[in-house]
Structure 1
Amino acid sequence: MTASSPLRTSSRRASPLGRRRPAPPALVLVAHGSRDPRALDTVRALMARVRALRPGLPVHLGHIELNEPLLTDTLAALGGTPAVLVPLLLARGYHVKEDIPRMAATAPVPARTAGPLGPHPLLAEALHARLLEAGWPPAMDDTARRSTAVVLAAAGSRDPDSATDTRRTARLLAARLGVPVVPAYASAATPAVPTALRALAARGRHRVAVASCFTAPGRFAAQCAARSPWIASAPLGDHEAMAGLVLHRYEQNLAAPWRSAA
């Protein structure tokens, strides 16, 4: 990494001579935006948890669409402070690959984009915890396991990398639960949640939970949960593992070599 990296330069620690430590780059949470008012409350709660975990780190919120503040406005208000944008998205896709990097490239401050939150073991931890909250049994005998499965319900994307990431998250969750976990989608990809449920029933898996692979409440999350024949977990929201994962992506991005947006 070169000494000219604006983000890395701004995150240096104070020297032994006692010079004032520069402010760290801002962490900007990037939410998609939703017409469901609960979504904004949820991402604000997640932002508050991130701030509590890292006092002194400037943490902001910006939306791609539908809610304020919009990401462009958040970046414009940073007053010259460099920023790392952390998408509150759980797999790669158009927003992660195109929308957010384009906004970062045209920002009035040095800005770069971290990877999506998934796949990662911390994401699987949050999914597992939400299932337990919904009534997933903490222990299960072999007979119960043979009839049990999970549908991992995600938004869906036409980008094949999105499905690859969701399958990896499903494998991480299956390793925790000890039962099959099948990815399914609300739109733009297959299988749909009802199709996955029918396929599992045909295999003798009649006790099937729907694990909500959504950051916040919204239409897709509600539609997927309503299909569950057993239990459905809540969106991941401000679970502590999600806050830890946001900070991990921030630190991971800071540690990466600087590449100009040009």
Structure 2
Amino acid sequence: MTVTDLSPRPGPPALVLVAHGSRDPRALSTVRALQDRVRALRPGLPVHLGHIELNEPLLPDTLAALGDTRAVLVPLLLGRGHHVKRDIPRTAAAARARTRVAAPLGPHPLLADTLGTRLLEAGWRSRPASAVILAAAGSRDPESRADTDRTAGLLAARLGVPVLPAYASAAAPTVPEAVAALRAKGRRHIAVASYFTAPGRFATQCAADAPWIASAPLGAHAAMAELVIHRYEQALGTPVTAAA
């Protein structure tokens, strides 16, 4: 594969968005739109994209193109699972670029804000005996599930209704199991909040199991771009203002 030279230049470290990758073409267009939003927030800051799998550019190719410059990798992932703990650091360590790996996006109050907005866009309004299922990809890592639980708590505080996490794979309960559990407790109006960065198979699957409404994935919401910049600056330990 031919790689464009993005060799070192003076200025702040590059920001590399690390997306999972998906066979759903909407996923790539969504992360590209988020990349554009991040660039708009920090004009002059080099913002690149690399995927863990399934889409180009793959992360090793993006890092190879950066040469030996400095870069901060910001995972577009929502908790501390296998990709965040092992795959991304391993790829970063193998690159010539001088890298730091930022924390995943979640949990964070800005995610709860975005989830609430997406639910409102889908038609959410609090009704008697309403509840929300926070539909996530799922992981066997207990820290990843703890991160999802924390986001569920933040969203519950924001909406004022119970929020129950559910998973598309690797963890329980599933969305149908969560629906059954909430109905057993008398919850009649149950919405699904899509806790996915971009559209894909799992997001589509979870939305199809919604008994009432399902929100769109987090996507390129303005708060997501703010959160990316926050994780970038947090990894560096100081705010960075790029020259225009």
TM-score range, shorter chain: over 0.9
Which structure 1 residue ranges, 4+ long, deviate > 6 Å from structure 2?
none
> CA shift at 1:169, angstroms?
0.1
Determine which of 153, 173, 183 is the counterpart of 1:191: 173
Q: Is 1:157 the equivalent of 2:139? A: yes
Matches within 5 A, 1:167-246: 167-246=149-228
| Matches of 1:115 and 1:79, distance apart in 2 | 23
The alignment's TM-score, normalised by the length of structure 1, stands at 0.86
Q: Is 1:121 the equivalent of 2:109? A: yes
Identify unmatched segments of 5+ residues in structure 2. 1-7, 239-244
What is the aligned partner in structure 1 of residue 241 from structure 2? none
Q: Is 1:79 the equivalent of 2:61? A: no
Q: Is 1:252 the equivalent of 2:234? A: yes
Q: Is 1:133 the equivalent of 2:121? A: yes
Bigger mean CA offset, 76-85 vs 232-241:
76-85
**CA-to-aligned-CA distance 1:239-261 (integer Å, 9 cap, x gap):** 001000000000000008xxxxx
> CA shift at 1:126, angstroms?
0.7
> CA shift at 1:80, angstroms?
2.5
Letter in 2 for 1:150: V
Match of 2:190, SS state, is: strand
| Matches of 1:92 and 1:133, distance apart in 2 | 28
**CA-to-aligned-CA distance 1:21-53 (integer Å, 9 cap, x gap):** 931000000000000011000000000000001
| Matches of 1:22 and 1:50, distance apart in 2 | 20
**CA-to-aligned-CA distance 1:116-136 (integer Å, 9 cap, x gap):** 100000011111110010001
Q: How many equivalent pairs are there?
A: 231
**CA-to-aligned-CA distance 1:184-208 (integer Å, 9 cap, x gap):** 0000001111100000001110100
| Matches of 1:205 and 1:172, distance apart in 2 | 20
| Matches of 2:234 and 2:195, distance apart in 1 | 22
Match of 2:43, SS state, is: coil
Letter in 1 for 2:173: P
What is the aligned partner in structure 2 of residue 68 from structure 1? 56
What is the aligned partner in structure 2 of residue 23 from structure 1? 11
Letter in 2 for 1:159: D
| Matches of 1:227 and 1:97, distance apart in 2 | 30
**CA-to-aligned-CA distance 1:82-115 (integer Å, 9 cap, x gap):** 1100000011100000000001111111011101
Identify unmatched segments of 5+ residues in structure 1. 1-9, 11-20, 257-262
Computed over aligned residues only, the root mean square deviation of the Cα atoms, in angstroms, reads 1.3
| Matches of 1:230 and 1:250, distance apart in 2 | 37
Matches within 5 A, 1:86-97: 86-97=74-85
Q: Of the two, which has the highest radius of gyration?
A: 1
What is the aligned partner in structure 2 of residue 18 from structure 1? none
| Matches of 1:229 and 1:158, distance apart in 2 | 26
